[in-house]
Every structure is written in structure tokens, then in C-alpha cells.
Chains A and B, each alone.
Chain A
Amino acid sequence: MSIARFDGVAKWYGRVIGLVDVSLELPAGVIGLLGPNGAGKSTFLKLLTGQLFPSQGKVEVLGCDPFRTPSIYRRLGFCPEQDAFYESMRGRDFVRYLGAYQGLSGGTLTRAVDAALERVGLVEESKRRIRTYSKGMRQRIKLAQAIVHDPELLVLDEPLTGMDPVGRRKTIDLMAELGAEGRTVLVSSHVLHEVESMTREVVLIYQGRVRAHGTVSEIRSYLDRYPYRMLVRSPQARDLARALLALDSVTGVSLEGDRIHLTTLKPDELCAALPSLVLDRDFVIEEFDAEDASLDAIFEYLVG
């Protein structure tokens, strides 16, 4: 089931292009929105959350036009990228104030605020004024206001920026937890390993265009013109390299001590052939890994 749909969407600011010809459907689950700074991620999220309307095309979120349907924000939580706050407010009051706009009041609002603060781990610090918060705490209080009304779609723009490793880990776990509860969480980031640690489902944006969309392995498999790079470690590296080179599926081999770096256009065929090769010739393999199936490598192929 798709949560959001972009249909031929373009957005420009005067003569500057923000997003070009984006057509995609976002499925439920945790999704990473990836791209370097200025790629168009924020424009994408602002269109999705109805802060901007498209110059061309149509955006539909949870079945509605987000710009013209404010009621959609009952089901959507948004954590903006910018470090903007009502600095003199206490953390708890900030979450409470924004929660009150959701139609919550009295005991219901108090319980919702408590639950949100508990989830982001800011119960104690919420009594302090926001101006005294560290960068990580500011990120977490932003997250609390986004989840206070228990939304089914959560849109987080660079939520890990400025967090310490512990806070980062906790936030990543929280996102996984929210996803496991059946919510859709769309997280943007320009840090590849952050996204990789959260989800395998990604949307790659570069220069205002969506370059790829799907799971990391799906996207990798579309990149036919780039041979896969594999690493094999064996004490019989030289003999094994020779045997591998004889396989049709292997297009190149290089040796580096006990490490063999090989390239292939048909990784499935190679994986099928390798066990019999090893058993027939008594090779010992200590390590076998794909060197460029990481998001990092894919990103480099797509935008490099």
C-alpha cells in the first residue's frame, strides 16, 4: 500500500530548480531519503508535508492534497531540519503547546506529552528552557513534538544531525521501533551509513531528480553497466584467482596478498559456481564479501 504519491512533480523557485519530474510511490515502512546537501531532499519533504505546493504535477499523501488539507496533520508528524525553537519555552511546554494544536487537551494531552518525552529520553531535561539545551537535546525535543499525537506517517528531516553517538544510536532504535509498530517513517540524511543503519529501503535524490528508489540490493542490481566488485580471502589466493578467472561470470581479477578482488557482471552465476569450485579443488575460503553493494558504493555510481 502506498502512503504517498508524486506524479510528475516539479518545483522551482523563480529560475532555480528545486525538484524535476519526480514520479514515485512511497510504500509503508522505514524509508531513507538520501542525497548530498542541496540535492532537493528538503524540497521533497516540504512538498510531501504540504509546506510547498508543486509548480507542476500532483502530490498525494494519505489520499489527500497535503497543501490544501490541514486535517492530514493529525496523521502526519514532521520534524524539520532547521534549528528553530521558541527558545524561552521549557521543553515540556514546547511539546504541550504544539500538541494542543492537535486537538488534545487536559489529561489526554498531559499523557501524550509524557509518552513522547519518555520515548525520546528527555523526561528530566524537559523542565529546562530550550535555550539551555545541547544540539542533541534540541533534535530530540523536535522529535517529541512530531510524535506527540501518535501519527501514522512520520517525516524526519536530518534528525541525527548534531547528536552524539549514544543519542544517535537511541534515535535510530526509536525509528526502527516506530517502523515495527506499523508506522511509516521517512528519514532524510546526507550521511550514507546513517541511512544504511536505519533501513534498506531508500530514495536517492541528486540535482533535484530522483535517481533511484527501492531496496539497496534492488538498486544495485539495476546498475548493470557497473561490474560488481567482490572480495575473496584465501591462503591459496594465487591458485584460486586462476580458477576464478576461468569462470565465464568473472570479468577481472587482481591479487593483494591473500586477498582476491574480482569483478563480475553476473554475481548470481558466480555464487552458484563458487561452492562446487571450492569443493572440487579443495580451496579454503576465509572471507567472501561484496565490496560495492553498500549504499556508499551505489551512491558513488549514481552521482559520481
Chain B
Amino acid sequence: MTQIRGFLVALQQAALDALRGRRGLVLLLISLVPMLIAFFADGDRSGLRNFVYHNLVLNVAFQFVIPFCALLLGASVLGDELEGRTITYLFTRPVDRGLIYLGRLFGTGIAFSVLLAITLSAALHLRPVLNAPPWLDPFGTVKLAVGVFWVYLAIFAGVRTILKRALLVGMLYILVLDLFISHMVYIGLAQFSIWHHVAVIYTEDFERTYRGLRFLRQAIPEGAAASESVRFLAVAFGLAAFLGAWFTRTREYPVAGAVA
């Protein structure tokens, strides 16, 4: 019972931390991005709207905004406590450290997802009022966006448990490595590339998603790439979250090592 309660306390506090102060304001602004998607995404994808959809929505939102949010929030899951040295208080409580980590991970993720849900819902309701064009597959795109966010949140949070410069490495990944990884379709690594998912949506080359994962393809109904991508992302999230929790509970955190 103490374990579940500890998990919930960590979750609640992390959600509040994510929404408080300047960080909360920045996240609120970022979560307005779906509103832009709602206004600019066009069903026929031609001419100017096609250009806007490709460059603004897919490239900016998927390629940069969501991964950077995931990176900033992921690095803060345990990073804030480590840098503020308050981790000592958390790790001297009768709750499994892995559970505290997971509580903070979910709390942070839920806080941002709720913000996204609110602004997205507002965008969808405002669209007809402002006479904006219809939105192509809004739920598929949003599912993918949320999926990408959660996976990268878990990955960056996990990396931060073992690497102090996780933020730097994450930026390097998003800005440079991601493009290379997106080409590794045949060994399955492309699934971890944001570019790859953008390409799937934009070109509607749904085959591309599973080209390297033949064994999965047997179970995939045709024309459901976004959903299947989300399914893959859910597995990736589970794995990343588990590894992060495992590192957290097995590592030591010398906050201020007084040494002789």
C-alpha cells in the first residue's frame, strides 16, 4: 500500500512541478501548437496549404517541438531532483526508487498531455467558428504526436538517470543523429527516428514503417500506419520506462561525496 501511495505522491508532485512557474507557461505556449495544426492542416494538401502542412506542422511540430518538449521534461524527471540535491529526501523514503521514478515520469507526461488535450480540444471547437480548413486524419496525427512525445520522454528521462549531460546528448540526437537513424529501415532502428514517422505521415508510405520488421507486418492491417506506429511506440515507451526505473533502483546517487 505504501508503494502505491508513494507512486501516486510522486506522480502528483511531478505533475504540479511540470505545470508550475515559468516552465508551465512555456509548456502552455508549446501546447498551443495543435491549434496551429488545426488551422493550417488541409485535406487536399495542395499549393500553399500543402507547403504549410509539410513545413510547419510536420517538420516543426513533429521534428522539433515535440521532441524538444520531451527532452526538456524527460531530463527534468529525475534531473531536477539530482541538480537540486533533493533526491536525498526521495530516496530515503520507504518506497521503491523505481516506483518513485515511474511516478515522476507519468506525472510529468500526464501534465503535458493534459495541456495538449485541452488546447487541441479548443482548437477543434474553434476551427468551424474561424472557418479554418478541415484537418486530415486529426486523431491519427495526434496519436502519433502523443506517442512520439511519450517515447522520447521515457528515453530522455532514462538517459538522464545515468548521464549528467543527457540534455546535450538529446539535442545532438534530435538535430543530427535522427536523420541518419531514419535511413536504417531494414534493421528496424528507423522506428526510433522522428524523421521516419514524419515521412510515414507525409508520404503515406505506410509500408515504410514495417519494412524492417517483417514479423510484425503479418499482424498489421493495411492502411492503419498511424495506429500501428502508436502501437510500436507504446512498446518502445514501456521498454524505455522499465529500463529507466531499473537504472534508478540499482544505481547510487552520491549527492555531495565527501571524500578523504
Candidates B2, B6, B97, B257; contact of A18 at CB < 8 Å? B257
Binds A, one of B80-88, B128-136, B195-203: B80-88
Q: Is B47 an interface residue, CB under 8 A from the partner? A: no
Candidates A37, A38, A49, A85; contact of B92 at CB < 8 Å? A49
Per the 8 Å Cβ criterion, residues 206-260 of B in contact with A are: 252-260
Complex CA–CA separation, A80 to B255 (angstroms): 10
Number of A-B contacts (CB under 8 A): 106
A13 engages B259 (CB within 8 Å): yes
Complex CA–CA separation, A82 to B92 (angstroms): 14
- Shortest distance from the beta carbon of A272 to any chain B beta carbon, whole Å: 42
Number of interface residues of A (CB under 8 A): 43
Per the 8 Å Cβ criterion, residues 73-125 of B in contact with A are: 84-86, 88-97
Candidates B5, B85, B94, B252; contact of A72 at CB < 8 Å? B94
B88 engages A70 (CB within 8 Å): no
Q: Is A17 an interface residue, CB under 8 A from the partner? A: yes
B92 engages A78 (CB within 8 Å): yes
A42 engages B258 (CB within 8 Å): yes
What are 30 A-B interface contacts by the 8 Å CB criterion?
Answer: A13-B257, A17-B260, A18-B257, A38-B258, A38-B260, A41-B258, A51-B88, A51-B91, A51-B92, A51-B252, A67-B252, A70-B93, A73-B94, A74-B94, A80-B89, A80-B255, A82-B85, A82-B88, A84-B88, A84-B89, A84-B255, A85-B84, A97-B9, A97-B13, A98-B93, A102-B93, A102-B94, A103-B6, A103-B94, A208-B259
Give 13 new A-B contacts, CB below 8 A, not counting A51-B91, A82-B255: A18-B257, A18-B259, A19-B260, A37-B258, A38-B260, A39-B258, A52-B252, A73-B93, A74-B2, A88-B20, A101-B6, A102-B2, A105-B5
A interface residues, Cβ below 8 angstroms from B: 13, 16-19, 37-43, 46, 49-53, 67, 70-74, 76, 78, 80-82, 84-86, 88, 97-98, 100-103, 105, 145, 207-208
